[in-house]
Chain A
């Protein structure tokens, strides 16, 4: 290890904006004179809104000056604003709770309402079992029918109820294939064009992976998956696929061969975005706890859209998206409830703090190992993931991060919880190791060395839960021998030890993604998922734009979500 100098601290602008008129390096400040909860414009807005609601419904509501700690409201210290990292947008903390942020809701909606369904088995059954001819023309006709049916329209029976298109306008189906000739014959409105969306090198790899097969990227209506759950997505899609095949290929209902087609078309080729969880978690497929980290890194598209940006940038976008989904929504609400988890999660994607630590790691990689993070091609440029390399990278990045917190007490005050600091420092270490070596498990091992160093240096770590996974993680990361575990790509939020701790899962996902972004890979784990989400502007949440920027749009109330109900409710 050997400290290097970075002349520009990425977090300084945020600290100066947050703590206006104060020296970011000051050790003392004043408290108890900020006018309590009223110092925050958003809290004042909440109080005013609650007054109106109380008048209308006759039941008391938000009343922080009475209800908080027996009449002592929060705001005895400064209630800070936050800059969504690398967006330049400052927001109130409240704007980053997913209930207050439509972009966050939509990101999860768009994942939950998605399945990828293969068409090859259906086409083979149609041809061999039913004697039907399958041509590009019939496929286009089928897709036309399917885009009529998938949002909730009938195609076969008389006298059926249907859904209002204005309520389900986010629902659609497109296809993709690695067969250029076949792709040319598909109507552009129905095609995810791999050649147009990816760099030529990435497109070549992806098309080779997909081969001559054809897949449907299916997104059912947001309002359906919200009313039901993630397990609904494949069922809703299956019903509409089955009926559309029957209509497009003019089949009889009820014969045995159609039953064969039903299984082949509706169920045999389905890829869920998330695995079903064990009964004790009580969640079906396509719920957050079942998303493998490798899959999640493929869903986020920053490395595709900005291939010339450093892999650190793409990884940091996965951190932002992942902590929002896994910490705020999955652990924070599905598994726990309440509002506290947002505070943990936002630390990783606000104020450019993790960004600064990670770019320090990138500079260290370049300075000491000659790893040019701005040009990670060819893959041979990555460093062999030995224990010594991981130890060196994680030690230096962690020491630097601790020193930054010490040198800038306002930043320590910004990340006022140990879990925030632990997650952020370990993420920077993990990302440096995974990006530099192209090995996700090396990244995870760097994370755990950071945790041990943090604990022994400051004699503290995160909340109680850090006593578990972070103090035993060395033994189940770089070497899989001790517990015969999994490579990072196949781990997920429900992996043993990972299942209960806020402040980890989004960062783990990014560490996995970083390994592939560092190598310049076209995908991390599943090429089908990578292609499926590379589909602007049809998806409501734009996975191609940095997710953190989308969250900032949500925070300043400029994001337009799906799931609109104003068509069927009284005007306000």
Chain B
């Protein structure tokens, strides 16, 4: 949650707009995508190569995905019980186990260096009053959410302006 570039619902929104035949599921830490097998590689490539991915603050995991809420490890990586990736030579994050933590991969996969704090803060899609932008300061955003809530309360899901 520490200024990861793309948080779960943002990923879902983006994927729904950009991809065909995709079924994203959104949870609090992980965001799961189901799609046609023939599309999987291209969609994954896109997710990894764009600014939606950050090597230390986002992660590719299958089993035991627990970690998004925890403090960061000393090397800046998000906690991963299975330690599927490590910070290797020259500070490059490298995957050494597969998604269910079984080592070794036939070859380690380098995904790049963690980006600096300033970049993460500037590009993050999460509010965070300690390490990023405070939610409270964005009054227009809050006002809009409250408006949606009020309209739904009064009119259900076909709101009519008063």
Contacts and interface: CB of A to CB of B under 8 A. Distances in A.
Interface stretch (A147-155, A246-254, A458-466): A458-466
B: contact size bracket = 35 or more
Interface of A: 3, 25-32, 69-70, 72, 74, 76-77, 387, 391, 395, 399, 402-403, 406-407, 409-410, 412-413, 415-419, 421-422, 445, 448-449, 452-453, 455-464, 467, 472, 474-475, 477-479, 481-483
Interface string B1-40: 1100001111000000000000001111100000000000
Contact of B71 (A26, A403, A455, A467): A26
A403 B72 contact: no
Interface string B45-74: 000000000000000000110100111111
Interface in B64-118: 64, 66, 69-74, 76, 79, 81-83, 101-102
Q: Tell which of B29, B63, B131, B146 has the most Cβ of chain A within 10 Å.
A: B146
B120 interface: no
Nearest to A32: B83
A445 B153 contact: yes
A16 B55 CA distance: 32
Q: What's the dominant secondary structure at chain A's contact region?
A: helix
Contacts of A463: 27-28
Contacts of B130: 25, 27, 406-407, 409
Contact of B135 (A399, A412, A461, A482): A399
B126 A29 contact: no
Contacts of A32: 83
Nearest to B11: A459
Contact of B28 (A418, A475, A479): A418
Interface in B140-160: 141-142, 145-146, 148-150, 152-157
A460 B136 contact: no
B134 interface: yes
Contact of B129 (A403, A422, A452): A403
B5 to A, nearest CB: 11
Given A403-B129, A449-B146, A474-B149, A72 B71 contact: no
B69 A417 contact: yes
Q: What's the dominant secondary structure at chain B's contact region?
A: loop
Contacts of A458: 1, 7, 126-127
Contact of B145 (A27, A74, A453): A453
A72 B2 contact: no
A533 to B, nearest CB: 34
Given A409-B71, A421-B69, A459-B10, 17 more contacts: A29-B70, A31-B79, A32-B83, A69-B82, A387-B150, A403-B136, A416-B70, A418-B27, A418-B28, A452-B149, A458-B1, A459-B8, A460-B8, A460-B26, A475-B153, A478-B153, A482-B156
A453 B136 contact: no
A70 B146 CA distance: 47
Contact of A459 (B126, B153, B155): B126
A448 B136 contact: no
A416 B1 CA distance: 11
Contacts of B29: 417-418, 460
A413 B81 contact: no
A455 B73 contact: no
12 contacts: A27-B72, A28-B72, A77-B81, A399-B136, A403-B136, A445-B153, A457-B126, A458-B126, A460-B28, A461-B28, A464-B25, A474-B148
A395 B142 contact: yes
Contact of A28 (B66, B71, B136): B71
A31 B129 contact: no
Nearest to A445: B153
Contacts of A474: 148-149, 152-153
A413 B101 contact: no
A433 to B, nearest CB: 12
B69 A416 contact: yes
A387 B153 contact: yes
Interchain residue pairs A-B with the least CB separation, the first 5? A418-B28, A459-B7, A482-B156, A474-B152, A416-B69
A70 B145 CA distance: 45
Contact of A464 (B27, B71, B81): B27
Contact of A27 (B8, B125, B126, B131): B131
A475 B7 contact: no
B128 interface: yes
Nearest to A474: B152
Given A3-B136, A387-B154, A403-B134, A460 B63 contact: no
